[in-house]
Amino acid sequence: MNIALWIVAGLLAVVYLLSGGGKLIMPKEKIAALTPSARWVEDFSAGSVKAIGALEVLGAVGLILPALLDIAPVLVPLAALGLALIMTGAVITRIRRHEPKPMVADLIYLALALFVAWGRFFGPESFIG
């Protein structure tokens, strides 16, 4: 179970680091032009998109570094919960925009983040006390 949690956390960290980093360095208009599924940025201000990107990068770092360095590993499930909240917002945005196909990926990321949060909070490989 520990290996599965590390693999999922690592994959999520890579996805959120790339995705969040892209939101931080690209203008909102360029993000919207990448793919049809990225047009959700049209509903948000440029500052909000940058804030979402920053939260994704922080969540990615929080999934790996605390456990890897053994400094406050309790932050790992909290980072996973934070990313799950971001993905909940993404699913709500997809529902509001009537975009069911891209929502499938958001639901998968949500489930994976919840799996890491559960495994590191309550599961057999808990970092909590």
Please enumerate in sequence order all residues whose Cβ is within 8 A of that of 122, keeping only pairs 6 or more positions apart, or say none: 128
pTM for the full predicted model? 0.93
Q: What is the pLDDT of residues 35-89, one digit of tens each?
A: 999 999 999 999 999 999 999 999 999 999 999 999 999 999 999 999 999 999 9
1-27 tens-digit pLDDT: 889 999 999 999 999 999 999 999 999
Those residues with Cβ within 8 angstroms of residue 2's Cβ, 6 or more apart along the chain or in another chain: 125
The candidate with the shortest Cα–Cα distance to 63, out of 106, 16, 20, is 16
Q: What are the extents of the domains in the chain?
A: 2-121
Contact between 43 and 89 under an 8 Å Cβ cutoff? The reply is no
Angle, to 10 degrees, between the axis of helix 100-121 and the axis of helix 75-97? 160
